[in-house]
A and B are shown apart, each in its own frame.
Chain A
Amino acid sequence: MITQAAPHIPATHYLDNRIFTDPAVFAEERDKLLGKVWQFVCHESEVAGPGDYRSTQIAGKPILIVRGQDLTVRAFYNICRHRAAEVVRKDSGNAESFTCFYHHWDYGLDGKLRSVAKPAGYEAVKLDKSELGLIAVRCEVLGGLVFACLDESTPGLREFLGDVTVGFLVQLGTVPLEVFHFHKAVLKTNWKLWQDNNSERYHSMLHASNRISLPWVMGKTSPMKLRIFPHGHSGYWTDGEVAKVDYSRGGYEGIIGGALPGMRDSEMRVINLFPDLMINIRSNVVRLDRMVPLEAGVTLVEWRGLGVKGDSAEQRAIRLKHHNLFWGPTGRNLPEDVIAVESQFRSMCADGVRHSILAREEDLNPTDDANLRAYYKEWARMMGRAASDIEVSA
C-alpha cells in the first residue's frame, strides 16, 4: 500500500499518477472526454478527391471520413445499419459507394443507403431505406485539418478551438499542404503522457540534437512564450524576436528554405490542441501527432509530415530531410521520446510514486509548466475529478 503524501505544493501543480494507469479512469475518459470533444482525424489531402476515404477510431468507435461528389468532407460511424459489421475495412482508398462485405448493403458517399441485397425479403415490413443511412458524425475542416466530434451538444469547432487558431491557421491554411509522411506505433503508455511530452519543453535536454541546436531552451529566458487558451489548448511561439533553431551548431545542413507562410527560416512553433493533437512547425515542415487511445496503457499514435502541395522535387527533398532529421521513426528526437514515456508508464503502474510534479513557473518561458496545468484543469472539469487526486471530485 502506498503511503506517500501529496507534495507540499498547490494541488494545481501536481497530478495523481493513477489518472494515467487506472482502467476505470480510462473508461470514463472515453465517455466524458474523448467522446465529447472535437478531435483531429486526418488531413484534407488524405481525402483530396471525390470518393477518397479514411477509416479511423474516435473513443473506441469506428469512424469513416469521406469526400463526397459535392467535395464536402463528411464523417460517419463506420458501422453497417443492418448487422453492425464494419462497412469499410481498409485504412484508406477511393470508392464510388460503400458496400458492406457481409450482406452487401450499399451506401453512397453521402451516407445514404442506396440498395440492399435481395430487397424483396423486406417488402413485408416496408423497410424505409431513407431511415437507414450510415449514422453521421459531426465533421468540420479548418486549416486543412479534418476534425470530428461524436457529441451533438458540444459547441462548434471554432468555438471549441477559440483563439488558439492564431497559432497555426496562417501556417497551415494559406497554401495547400499535403501529407508526405505517415507512420504509427502502438506505445505502451497512457495517451496523456504522449500529449504531455509534446506539450512540455522541459524535456528538451533529453535530446542530444536539442541540447546543441536549441540554446534558448537551455537559457533562462526565451523569445518564445507559452500561450494558454481556454478549453486546455496551448502553444509556444514568438511574435517578435526570432527564437532560432541553431542548426549550424549541430552541423545540420541542407534543411533551410521554403519557409511556410507566417514562418521564418529556422523558426519553430508548437501548438497543442486539447486533448490529443500536436502541431509542430519547424519553418518549412509540419508534424502532426494524433492519438487513438486503446487502453489505459496502450496508445496508437499516428505521425504525419506535411509539405506544400506542388513542391518541386528539390524543395520536397529539403522538407523531407528536415522532417526526418528530428522526426519519423529514425529521427534524432522521436526514439528518445518513446523510451521516456514508456518508462514513465511502467513506473507509474508500480505505484511507488503516486504524484507527478507540474510546478515550474518561469514567466511563460517554454519550459514553464503552465500549459500542462491548464490542460489538466480542463481535464478535471470534463471528468469531474481532481487531476491531483482521482478520489476527489473536481
Chain B
Amino acid sequence: MSTGTPNMDALAIEAVRSVVLRTGLLLDGHDLTGWLALFESDGVYELRAYSSEIRQWMTWWLATRGELEKTLSEVVQHVCDPAQRCHVIGAPVVTQQGDKALAVSPFSIFRTLPDGVSSLYMVGHYEDTLAVREGVWRISRRTVITDTRVLDMFTHIPV
C-alpha cells in the first residue's frame, strides 16, 4: 500500500500510527497518566471547533502538558460524567513534515451510560504532530477538530 511518505520507512509509520491509536485506548481505560506520557514534555493539546453561529473557529481547550497534568490530577475532585467512553480511531494517514511526522485520523467517540444505553458522543479528526527522540515517537501537538458541537455531556477529560 502506498503511504505517500517516501522518506519514512514502514516501521516508523507503524510506530506513529501505534501512538495515535493508543491515545484512544488509554483515555477509554481512564489511564490519564499513560495518555500524558505519549506527549513530549513540552507537548500541547488543543480542542477546536468551528461555530456556524459566529462564523469563526474557536479553541475550547488549549493546554501544555504541564497544565494537562495539573487538570487531570484534579479530575478525582470533580463530579464527572459517569458514562464509559469508547474511541474509534480510523487509520491515521501519516506524512513526513521535516524531522517530524503528521498523522491525521478520523475519530468517533461513543458514550455508554451505566444503564447500558450507548450513543454517539463526538465525531471529528485528530491532527497529531509527532517527534522521535531516542527511537520513541511522542506527540508534540495534538489538535482535536470536533465536528460535533452539541455535546450530550461536557467534559473535564480530554477527548
Contact = CB atoms under 8 A, between A and B. Distances in A.
A336 B71 CA distance: 15
B54 A330 contact: no
Contacts of A321: 62
Query: Is the contact region of chain A dominated by helix, strand, or loop, or is it mixed?
Result: mixed
Interface residues of B, number: 29
Interface in B134-159: 149-156
A354 B80 CA distance: 27
Given A320-B59, A336-B78, A330 B155 contact: yes
B154 A330 contact: yes
A90 B52 contact: yes
Given A335-B153, A335-B155, A251 B70 contact: yes
B156 A91 contact: no
Interface in A299-319: 302
A335 B58 contact: no
Contact of A182 (B47, B53, B70, B152): B53
Contacts of A186: 150
B51 interface: yes
Interface string B65-89: 0000011001001111100000000
Given A330-B155, A338-B154, A180 B58 contact: yes
A179 B49 contact: no
Contact of B51 (A183, A185, A206): A183
A184 B149 contact: yes
A339 B81 contact: yes
A181 interface: yes
A181 B50 CA distance: 10
Interface in B103-159: 149-156
A351 B150 CA distance: 29
A92 interface: yes
Given A208-B74, A324-B60, A185 B154 contact: yes
Interface string A115-159: 000000000000000000000000000000000000000000000
Contacts of A335: 78-81, 153-156
Instruction: Please name the 5 residue pairs, one residue from A and one from B, whose CB atoms are nearest each other, closest first.
Output: A335-B154, A208-B77, A330-B61, A329-B154, A182-B51
A182 B58 CA distance: 8
- Interface residues on chain A, size class: 20 to 34
Contacts of A183: 49, 51, 58, 60, 149-150
B60 A92 contact: no
Given A181-B60, A208-B74, A328-B61, 16 more contacts: A46-B53, A90-B52, A179-B54, A180-B54, A181-B58, A185-B150, A208-B78, A320-B59, A320-B62, A324-B61, A329-B60, A330-B61, A334-B154, A335-B81, A335-B153, A340-B79
A301 to B, nearest CB: 10
A208 B79 CA distance: 8
Given A183-B149, A320-B62, A324-B59, A332 B78 contact: yes
Interface of B: 47, 49, 51-56, 58-62, 70-71, 74, 77-81, 149-156
25 contacts: A46-B54, A54-B53, A92-B55, A179-B54, A180-B54, A181-B58, A182-B53, A182-B58, A183-B51, A183-B58, A184-B53, A184-B149, A206-B79, A208-B78, A324-B60, A324-B62, A329-B60, A329-B151, A330-B155, A332-B78, A335-B156, A336-B78, A338-B153, A338-B154, A339-B79
Interface of A: 46, 54, 90-93, 179-186, 206-208, 251, 302, 320-321, 324, 328-332, 334-336, 338-340
A302 B71 CA distance: 25
Contacts of B59: 320, 324
A91 B155 contact: no
Contacts of A181: 58, 60
A179 B54 CA distance: 7
Contacts of A302: 53
B69 to A, nearest CB: 11
Nearest to A45: B54
Nearest to A334: B154
Contacts of A251: 70
A335 B157 CA distance: 10
Nearest to A337: B154
Nearest to A54: B53
A183 B154 CA distance: 11
Contacts of B154: 185, 329-331, 334-335, 338
